A and B are shown apart, each in its own frame.
Chain A
Amino acid sequence: MDRTWNNKAWFLVLPVLLLVAFSAIIPLMTVVNYSVQDTFGNNVFFWVGVEWFEELLHSPRFWQALLRNLIFSAIILAIQIPLGVFIALNMPRRGWGVSVCLVLMALPLLIPWNVVGTIWQVFGRVDIGLLGYTLARLGINYNYVQDPLAAWVTVIVMDIWHWTSLVVLLCYAGLVSIPDAYFQAAKIDGASRWSVFRYIQLPKMNRVLLIAVLLRFMDSFMIYTEPFVVTGGGPGNETTFLSIDLVKMAIGQFDVGPAAAMSLVYFLIVLLVCWVFYTVMTNYGEESGR
């Protein structure tokens, strides 16, 4: 089919381009400028070349924060995706239960991140928090302020509580869009529950699952507010993820140059992962559309 090309339509993109320039491109340019200079304030800068990048790439602090971030993302993906699929599969398809479940699932997503952090900070406290107090009464040594394992468990459980709903809602949307004819055919063939899931529901959910994995990976890889409120990156640096380390460096220590270099490396990693996911998603979409 012949398409009509009208290049004047590109002018419609201009307002967005201006907005992006002010909110993203100009700040990014400034970060690049800061990453090759040092400053003591008052807009006085000294050229240092690639020194900050070199320092960063040889810094155990950076690699440890990156490793912690990757481990955190891997753990929450390994839990949230199967759990989200499981909950979505067991949600009602019709009746009053649908609305109740959807509202319940949407609730954690509506709570601001710093409030989620505060809820879990109080919830986990041994003296006044329900979780901390109950675990202490059961004889379990749980203290997220002192024990790295407890801190990790708290941060992971908090993220699961906050974000599994997103996976559930995406999977549920994928599931309800499957025509009934598929299930009727499976029933006639005497397909087991597992076969229905494996050969009908899972393939039909593939696209939303990819979106869920992408969103959850990016969110978890850039996580800041919740762990910062709960643990402040501690005990020690045990829950200091890249974003927390970055803020400590830029605002806490006012090391603007090294922080800018770290931001750019962080940005490159995020960009690479985004591109990989985007490519997989778009190519999958084209293949399944053929």
Chain B
Amino acid sequence: MNLSWMAWTLPTATFFIVIGLLIAGMAVWEYFSPGGHPRVGVLRFETTRGDRLFISLLGSGFIHLAWLGLVGPDLWWALALSLVYAFCVFRFV
């Protein structure tokens, strides 16, 4: 099957593999600790692990865009900031 029209590159493939691994990791986590661990955090509404992953990924997208628009194209710092943000989301949200 010719997939050249999809124009795959190593960085984009890595990006999707990481997202896939995160989702697979969540499934494994759910298998060993079922129920999604719902709790009410700083946002004052109930979130599950899946919600927290979604909030982390969505927020990371905006962090990268904000960094790119306000600081510059060196996105490693944005990635580091996103990891800190994701940690905070999983810890406090």
A interface residues with partner B (beta carbon < 8 Å): 5, 26, 29-30, 32-34, 36-37, 39, 43, 45, 47, 49-51, 53-54, 57-58, 265, 268, 271-272, 275, 279, 283, 286
Contact = CB atoms under 8 A, between A and B. Distances in A.
B68 A37 contact: no
A30 B6 contact: yes
Contact of B12 (A36, A58, A268): A36
Given A36-B11, A43-B5, A54-B68, A29 B16 contact: yes
A30 B68 contact: no
Nearest to B45: A283
Interface string B3-36: 0111111011001100000000000000000100
Given A53-B65, A272-B58, 16 more contacts: A29-B12, A30-B5, A32-B16, A33-B6, A33-B9, A36-B9, A37-B9, A39-B7, A43-B5, A53-B68, A54-B68, A265-B65, A272-B62, A275-B54, A283-B45, A283-B46
A82 to B, nearest CB: 28
Nearest to B8: A33
B46 to A, nearest CB: 8
5 contacts: A32-B12, A36-B9, A50-B73, A268-B62, A286-B46
Contacts of B5: 30, 43
A50 B58 contact: no
Given A36-B11, A54-B68, A283-B45, A271 B6 contact: no
A221 to B, nearest CB: 17
Contacts of A54: 68-69, 73
B7 A45 contact: yes
B65 A33 contact: no
Interface of B: 4-9, 11-12, 15-16, 34, 45-46, 54-55, 58, 61-62, 65, 68-69, 73, 75
Contact of A30 (B7, B58, B65, B75): B7
A57 B68 contact: yes
Contacts of B55: 275
A33 B7 contact: yes
A34 B5 CA distance: 10
Contacts of B61: 268
A36 B7 CA distance: 10
Contact of A268 (B34, B58, B73): B58
B4 to A, nearest CB: 5
Counting from the closest, the 8 A-B pairs by CB-CB distance are A57-B69, A33-B7, A45-B7, A283-B45, A43-B4, A30-B6, A33-B12, A268-B61
Nearest to B6: A30
Contacts of A39: 7
Contacts of B69: 54, 57-58
A50 B7 contact: no
B15 A279 contact: no
A130 B24 CA distance: 60
Contact of A50 (B8, B34, B62, B68): B68
B75 to A, nearest CB: 7
B75 A50 contact: yes
A49 B64 CA distance: 13
